[in-house]
Structure 1
Amino acid sequence: MGLFNNIKFFVLCHGMLQLAQLLVSGYLKGSITSIEKRYGFSSQKSGLLAAFNEVGNTVLIVFVSFFGSRVHRPRCIGIGAMIASVGVFLIALPHFISEKYTYTDFSSNTKDNSSGLCQSLNSFPEEKSNQTCDQEKTDSHLGVYPILLLGQLLLGIGGVPIQPFGISYIDDYAEKRNSPFYLGILFAITVIGPAFGYMMSSALLRFYVDIDKISSADIDLKNDDPRWVGAWWLGFLMAATLLLLTSLPYLFFPRKMSGESLQEIEEAPMEPSTEKIMEDKKPKTDTMEELSLTEFLKSFPKIVMRTLRIPIYLLVVLAQVNLAAMVAGLATFMGKFIERQFAQTASFSNLMMGGLNIPSAMLGIMAGGVILRKLGLSVRSSAAMCTVAVFISIMFAIPLLFIGCPTQSVSGINYNKFSQQCSNACSCSDEAFNPVCGSDGVEFRSPCHAGCKTVIFKEKVLVSYF
């Protein structure tokens, strides 16, 4: 088929596939706080989850250089993308096997307005339960984290061939002057994709997590309530479907494609010298003796050590590692920091990340490219420009170590002065979480912990506790 023998169409398909793949990455980081709140994960667990796709990627990426010229690259990309889509579907699976999300101490629409208030210790001594959250977990809840890890692992494994095989395929069959332009499009998508993921999470987390299980009329929480959990799973279903659809065209691309110059010659009228020109324009094959997999693995450490002895290459790798570590940390936990430090919703935090931070990074990349092209900077001058940019960033970052909002004083957690006096005569659940703030700026986990005995409503809106 002529369409699938066109490198421009391959670039279009690969751009769409990378957009879908990176959209998943951005969406996961944007919804990680909602998953954490829904299933009670610690920050350590959620951080491991966010990074777990790199496990499969790191283990298998070594074999890409060996199998790159020996396999059907487009078909491997397509199969890998299908595996990745299965992994994304798995990430959404816990929502469908878990019970409905439950929260504590909400009384705005109940006839018994005392559910979150201080009750006498003698009111229901026999009904008081000391059961902990861990004891209340169901079997499906306990299996959530392994399922999420497996989904991330499959996502990493499936993503192994996508970028290296795609770039090498384009580089082999695109005309030399067009190849940088095509690759530039793909690298631009690596920035746009996560931004779309954050924006999508900002939109979908406005919907309640169990919107498919209960009617909207039965949802009492608002999305600015600290107990609100958005529909984190919905975006994974959409992204997995997009990933699956964009993987299908790769099953029809040929193993070897006519180069762009060769395609132009084939479309032109044939002349006596055309056969010789066609032979000259065909992609050159590797004439080196092919190594077996065992020989390749044995020689790989020597090749790595020899490569790492090149100073410029080593410094570039170290710079990339440090940059990736910084970006990964910010992308994963900056949203949570905005939520906790400034009392913002997950939707707003992701809007800030996807609508401001990432586009700013994209503008920086484009500005760097323009400067390099206009000024024709040498390697040393380029390194000096990077050093100046990093130094300016550090100068702006250092004040953040000394300024910022103070940590909220939470009674019974990081503030114990008179914390027990308010609720000494109350029977409060240890798992209750409906935070209220006292007049002295101290936050209590619930109205019961603050010793409140009465609640006042005004136009169905909770105004205050007494």
Structure 2
Amino acid sequence: AGPLLGVCPPPEPPPSSHLSLPLLVLWHEDFFVLCHGMLQLAQLLVSGYLKGSITTIEKRYGFSSQKSGLLAAFNEVGNTVLIVFVSFFGSRVHRPRCIGIGAMIASVGVFLIALPHFISNEYITDSNNNTKDNSSGLCKSPNISKQTCDQEKTDSHLGVYPILLLGQLLLGIGGVPIQPFGISYIDDYAEKRNSPFYLGILFAVTVIGPAFGYMMSSVLLRFYVDIDKMSSSYLNLKNDDPRWVGAWWLGFLMAATLLLLTSLPYLFFPRKMSREPKSETKEEVSLTEFLKSFPKIVMRTLRNPIYLLVVLAQVNLAAMVAGLATFMGKFIERQFAQTASFSNMMMGGLNIPSAMLGIMAGGVILRKLGLTVRSSAAMCMVAVFVSIMFAIPLLFIGCPTNKVSGINYNVSSQQCSNACSCSDEAFNPVCGSDGVEFLSPCHAGCKTVIPDKEKGLNYMNCECVASTGSPGSAFPGPCGNKCSNRLIPFMILSSITCFVASLSHTTSFMMILRTVTPEDKSFALGIQFMLFRVLGKQKKLIMQNRHGTELVNKTKTRISKHDKYNFRQ
């Protein structure tokens, strides 16, 4: 344990001329950058995949938006608690080995996130619960029968949520050493001219990872959630049906395996590279003396005005990015009436690659021009200001809200379906011939259903659908909107905004590394990432979800006592 904690000084690395070819590879910063890029890709692929599948997990287990927001942010809890303490030992521990062990812990956490699928029963809808009887969910009098969802007890998911939280907690704990130790290790042993370029590559990978996660979710959510438990021949659903639930768990299994494999090379990297670090070698001190210096190092770091201002600026940017990255797909899905898989594809194919190109371009500019701290600050300020100018028009691009009976339209007059015994938890949206959306055929007062080749089903004799003469009709699915053409300018403008804002990413990190003492690099980065999580990501995600939850509660009090739609029928 002594050498691992850094109490005893490790042996000096032998000259490169005495190393075998495999060791020469392991003792070169280029190979470390490659491995670290692969590890960050695997780690952040999980982040992107979770954000892309969060609405599907909500639907599968009936979570509220506030619960899903807490779940998305919970990996930051373990990360926040430990990152400053772990980063404090950055110059005294075997950094590559700590990174590898942390990645293994994160891999276990991701496996736990996928576990609820294997301990849960099949997901039941009226499509696979009763394939021969299409009358499920229609308006029926109380003395005839109740809805199918009232006849069957839904599974209790009380035990699922803690498992998901535990997986997220382990994912956050395992990710603690990855970025601070990796960045400081590269900056210590890479040539000063190459350091910005290497870090630009790694920061670009931090964007590629979520992009791959979004693209993976776009593909895997097209498979049904119980693809391993039931044959698709028993399923009478398409992936654009509002009752569809995709195979959210499959991507977590793949990501956990990749994370485990990419952690293995770190167990064989040396504590120090063959090239001497740029800073002078400091005399080793005892662990007790080092711990006593903790308050001094904290104050020295926080009293650095450049460091503090740059970190606060990054925190504000991180708060915005955290909310957008998590719920942009959901926004596209709801605002522009797109499927979850298509929304994730747009995020992973346009916005995130634009941010990646911006990060790489910022690193190249920094390397080519050799910017000083002052000129780097000017570049960051210009990039952020221009990105804000591009973002302002996004506030005015959107679609009108659909009319949903009982929520934002005709809230007080629903007598037409009072005699139908409709479940408040039913969610099988149908669109009436009058353009008004209903939560289910029962809420629309529909009494009969006939097969339809184009729409699948056609609900008839709907008492709540406005029509002249005979009762109206309805067809499955939401009414949608006719402004999907606005999605293209929205995505183009948001991609440009991402590109310009990302130009400041590498530059701001290099400002931090160049304005703190060499021995404080890991610790300074640790404080930075902690502030990201405390002041940026966690607070923003939970606030956004609470705000969304309050809006739903205000408009949906009549329909449900809980802040959720129950997607099981």
Alpha carbons 1:107, 1:116 under 8 Å: kept: no
CA separation of 1:186 and 1:373: change in aligned 2, threshold 3 A:
closer
- 1:217-247 superposed Cα distances (whole Å, 9 cap, x missing partner): 1122111011111111000000000011111
Alpha carbons 1:453, 1:465 under 8 Å: kept: no
Paired residue for 2:557, among 456, 459, 464?
Answer: 459
Alpha carbons 2:142, 2:421 under 8 Å: kept: yes
Alpha carbons 1:107, 1:115 under 8 Å: kept: no
Structure 1 residue 452, shift from structure 2 partner: 1.2
CA separation of 1:138 and 1:29: change in aligned 2, threshold 3 A:
same
Structure 1 residue 78, shift from structure 2 partner: 1.2
Alpha carbons 1:77, 1:161 under 8 Å: kept: yes
Paired residue for 2:50, among 22, 28, 31?
Answer: 28
Structure 1 residue 296, shift from structure 2 partner: 5.2
Q: 442-451 or 285-294, which moves further after superposition?
A: 285-294
CA separation of 1:15 and 1:139: change in aligned 2, threshold 3 A:
same
Matched, 1:44 2:66: yes
Identity fraction in percent: 90
Alpha carbons 1:452, 1:465 under 8 Å: kept: no
Q: 421-430 or 299-308, which moves further after superposition?
A: 299-308
TM-score scaled by length of structure 1? 0.82
| 3-state DSSP of counterpart to 1:422 | helix
Distance 1:465 1:66 in 2: 49
Structure 1 residue 313, shift from structure 2 partner: 1.9
Structure 1 residue 48, shift from structure 2 partner: 1.2
Structure 1 residue 297, shift from structure 2 partner: 5.6
Q: What is the aligned partner in structure 1 of residue 461 from structure 2?
A: none
Q: What is the aligned partner in structure 2 of residue 80 from structure 1?
A: 102
CA separation of 1:383 and 1:73: change in aligned 2, threshold 3 A:
closer
CA separation of 1:138 and 1:392: change in aligned 2, threshold 3 A:
same
Distance 2:557 2:283 in 1: 81
Q: 84-93 or 18-27, which moves further after superposition?
A: 18-27
Structure 1 residue 19, shift from structure 2 partner: 1.0
Structure 1 residue 113, shift from structure 2 partner: 2.4
Structure 1 residue 423, shift from structure 2 partner: 1.2
Alpha carbons 1:91, 1:151 under 8 Å: kept: yes
Structure 1 residue 460, shift from structure 2 partner: 35
Q: 63-72 or 324-333, which moves further after superposition?
A: 63-72
Distance 1:313 1:69 in 2: 19
| 3-state DSSP of counterpart to 1:325 | helix
Q: 328-337 or 377-386, which moves further after superposition?
A: 377-386
- 1:259-314 superposed Cα distances (whole Å, 9 cap, x missing partner): 29xxxxxxxxxxxxxxxxxxxxxx47875565666665665445434433333222
CA separation of 1:135 and 1:110: change in aligned 2, threshold 3 A:
closer
Alpha carbons 2:428, 2:440 under 8 Å: kept: yes
Distance 1:459 1:71 in 2: 55
Q: What is the aligned partner in structure 1 of residue 138 from structure 2?
A: 117
Distance 2:445 2:154 in 1: 32
RMSD across aligned C-alpha pairs, in angstroms?
A: 4.8
Q: Which ranges of structure 1 fall in alignment gaps of 5 or more residues?
A: 123-128, 261-282
Structure 1 residue 139, shift from structure 2 partner: 7.3
Distance 1:171 1:420 in 2: 66
Structure 1 residue 74, shift from structure 2 partner: 1.9
- 1:397-421 superposed Cα distances (whole Å, 9 cap, x missing partner): 3344455322222222232356413
TM-score scaled by length of structure 2? 0.68
Paired residue for 2:346, among 348, 352, 355?
Answer: 352
Q: 321-330 or 246-255, which moves further after superposition?
A: 246-255
Alpha carbons 1:408, 1:442 under 8 Å: kept: yes
| 3-state DSSP of counterpart to 2:274 | coil
- 1:33-63 superposed Cα distances (whole Å, 9 cap, x missing partner): 1111111111111111111111111111112
| 3-state DSSP of counterpart to 1:417 | coil
Alpha carbons 1:5, 1:254 under 8 Å: kept: no
Matched, 1:306 2:327: no
Alpha carbons 1:22, 1:190 under 8 Å: kept: yes
CA separation of 1:70 and 1:385: change in aligned 2, threshold 3 A:
closer
Q: What is the aligned partner in structure 2 of residue 168 from structure 1?
A: 184
| 3-state DSSP of counterpart to 2:420 | coil
Q: 386-395 or 341-350, which moves further after superposition?
A: 386-395
| 3-state DSSP of counterpart to 1:141 | coil
Structure 1 residue 374, shift from structure 2 partner: 5.7
Alpha carbons 1:61, 1:160 under 8 Å: kept: yes
CA separation of 1:182 and 1:402: change in aligned 2, threshold 3 A:
closer
CA separation of 1:314 and 1:167: change in aligned 2, threshold 3 A:
closer
Structure 1 residue 99, shift from structure 2 partner: 1.0
CA separation of 1:445 and 1:152: change in aligned 2, threshold 3 A:
same
Structure 1 residue 76, shift from structure 2 partner: 1.4
Distance 1:67 1:390 in 2: 33
Aligned residues: 432
| 3-state DSSP of counterpart to 1:191 | helix
| 3-state DSSP of counterpart to 1:160 | coil
